[in-house]
């Protein structure tokens, strides 16, 4: 058994406490497939992935893991791995094929079946409302650049809260909004593939407004809801102690770690870290400062790697560059990301400094490696070691008083890794994308043994009681 670095104690799930939540995370577009089934409308990724050169090897997610049709078997696997929490996202364009307007009952039905199956298995369902798959119909109207998205998102959130709120307690309003703003609308590496620094600010502002607007709607419609957001975060090290590099690290930190939490906490945008952000004022309207605030029950942190940055004259506006792990002679994952569990510990300590954060949940953590199928087995010892090291770092922070309430491994099974297509495998379960065969990797088996004797509490009974109710969504009146 692995010893934790810092305390010398054996890493055991029970060391995290009886009420610690152990889960596994997924996202709709990465696993569902069935893009033409059940009345679903196109999302921005359907359109983006068809464009030449956008996704590695020209991969498409029309089938992905076919989770839409195989969810029962896959949830049985969640159960057999020992996880008691399952995080999935709702595909907005399954619920509202045109993004707004008529509700697609088949979409509601699918998530009802999925939620009910979770509960039948004594697994608590966690909904992410937005994990990057905006309906294409809304992108044609400007997408996240258009302030009307507040109304569209509010309507979608209301429908989901009314349809699922009787059986779902835990809600993540938004996943990694920084990726949407940065990769989706600024560098164009992600859907919808828009480029330009001047898209960044309105998109950030509309995302930040939607996270709090969505939070308020769920608060009003779902009694006893546990509401959060999921933010990517990476501890930032300056490349040197030179003032220029320290400044670069401050700017990177403002963008990567502060941009979405601080407005929610009532601190406004982190302009002290990155002056350019003061330009967001041109998108601010009266009342927005208040509207941005929301008292989340938890903040989901997703940590994969730490970064080292230095000043650079070659990158206008941000004036910094990332010093790639490959040049620093440090261990990396198949994504080229630095493996550094100390970064997880440091980022937790950094978030501990904020007054006003209630709970922290690690809403994603995991790693891609080259997996080799040999005699029906995947001996992915590097992935297991990664989880052990990062979990030890979480435990160390928890022992030092950081209020971490749960941990979600990314991810249940290999899936469509956005611009990397199927080339990057993050799963605890290997997927053969031709046959859809699943094989539990050694890391998955390790998790199963790790979680085997956890003392985790049972599913709240109130979630269970409502499963038998027949759910039909009433079309909104015109």
**Given the rule CB under 6 A, which residues bind ligand GCO?**
27, 30, 175-176, 179, 232, 302, 364, 410, 417, 426
- Supply the residues annotated as catalytic: 176, 364
Q: Which residue is nearest to ligand GCO (CB)?
A: 176
CB of 385 to ligand GCO, least distance (A): 18
CB of 90 to ligand GCO, least distance (A): 14
Residue 63 or 271: which CB sits closer to ligand GCO?
A: 63
Residue 27 or 227: which CB sits closer to ligand GCO?
A: 27
Residue 32 or 176: which CB sits closer to ligand GCO?
A: 176
CB of 476 to ligand GCO, least distance (A): 30
Residue 189 or 377: which CB sits closer to ligand GCO?
A: 189
| CB-based burial label for 303 (10 Å; 0-12, 13-18, 19+) | buried
CB of 394 to ligand GCO, least distance (A): 17
With CA atoms as reference, report the closest residue to 167 among 210, 111, 206: 111
CB of 129 to ligand GCO, least distance (A): 13
CB of 179 to ligand GCO, least distance (A): 6
Residue 46 or 176: which CB sits closer to ligand GCO?
A: 176
CB of 335 to ligand GCO, least distance (A): 7
CA distance 478 to 475: 9
Residue 104 or 302: which CB sits closer to ligand GCO?
A: 302
Residue 25 or 108: which CB sits closer to ligand GCO?
A: 25
With CA atoms as reference, report the closest residue to 406 among 85, 144, 4: 85
């Amino acid at each position: 058994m692995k010893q934790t670095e810092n305390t010398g104690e054996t890493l055991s799930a029970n060391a995290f406490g009886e009420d610690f939540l152990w889960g596994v995370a997924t996202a709709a577009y990465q696993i569902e497939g069935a893009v033409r089934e059940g009345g679903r409308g196109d999302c921005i990724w359907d359109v983006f992935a068809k464009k030449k050169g956008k996704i590695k090897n020209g991969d498409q997610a029309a089938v992905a893991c076919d989770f839409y049709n195989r969810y029962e078997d896959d949830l049985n696997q969640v159960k057999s791995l020992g996880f008691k929490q399952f995080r999935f996202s709702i595909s907005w364009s399954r619920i509202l094929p045109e993004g707004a307007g008529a509700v697609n009952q088949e979409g509601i039905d699918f998530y009802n079946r999925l939620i009910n199956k979770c509960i039948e298995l004594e697994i608590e369902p966690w909904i992410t409302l937005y994990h990057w798959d905006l309906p294409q119909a809304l992108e044609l109207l400007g997408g996240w650049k258009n302030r009307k998205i507040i109304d569209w998102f509010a309507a979608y959130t209301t429908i989901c809260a009314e349809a699922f709120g009787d059986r779902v307690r835990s809600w993540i309003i938004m996943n990694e909004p920084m990726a949407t703003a940065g990769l989706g609308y600024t560098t164009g590496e992600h859907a919808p593939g828009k480029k330009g620094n001047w898209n960044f600010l309105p998109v950030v502002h509309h995302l930040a407004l939607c996270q709090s607007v969505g939070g308020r709607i769920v608060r009003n419609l779902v009694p006893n809801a546990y509401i959060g957001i999921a933010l990517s975060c990476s501890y930032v090290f300056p490349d040197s102690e030179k003032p220029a590099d320290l400044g670069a690290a401050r700017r990177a930190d403002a963008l990567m770690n502060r941009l979405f939490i601080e407005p929610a906490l009532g601190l406004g945008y982190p302009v002290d870290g990155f002056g350019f952000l003061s330009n967001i004022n041109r998108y601010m309207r009266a009342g927005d400062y208040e509207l941005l605030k929301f008292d989340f029950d938890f903040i989901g942190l997703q940590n994969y790697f730490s970064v080292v940055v230095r000043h650079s004259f070659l990158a206008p506006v941000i004036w910094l560059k990332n010093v790639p792990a490959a040049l620093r002679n440090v261990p990396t994952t198949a994504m080229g990301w630095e493996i550094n569990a100390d970064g997880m510990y440091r980022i937790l300590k950094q978030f501990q400094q904020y007054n006003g954060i209630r709970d922290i949940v690690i809403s994603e953590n995991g790693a891609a490696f080259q997996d080799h199928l040999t005699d029906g087995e995947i001996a992915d010892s590097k992935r297991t070691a990664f989880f052990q090291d990062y979990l030890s770092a979480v435990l160390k922070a928890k022992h030092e008083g950081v209020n971490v309430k749960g941990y979600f491994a990314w991810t249940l099974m290999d899936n469509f890794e956005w611009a990397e297509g199927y080339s990057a495998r993050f799963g605890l379960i290997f997927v053969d994308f031709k046959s859809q065969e699943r094989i539990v990797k050694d890391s998955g088996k390790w998790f199963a043994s790790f979680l085997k004797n956890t003392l985790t509490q049972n599913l709240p009974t109130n979630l269970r009681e409502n499963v038998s109710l027949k759910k039909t969504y009433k079309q909104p009146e015109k």
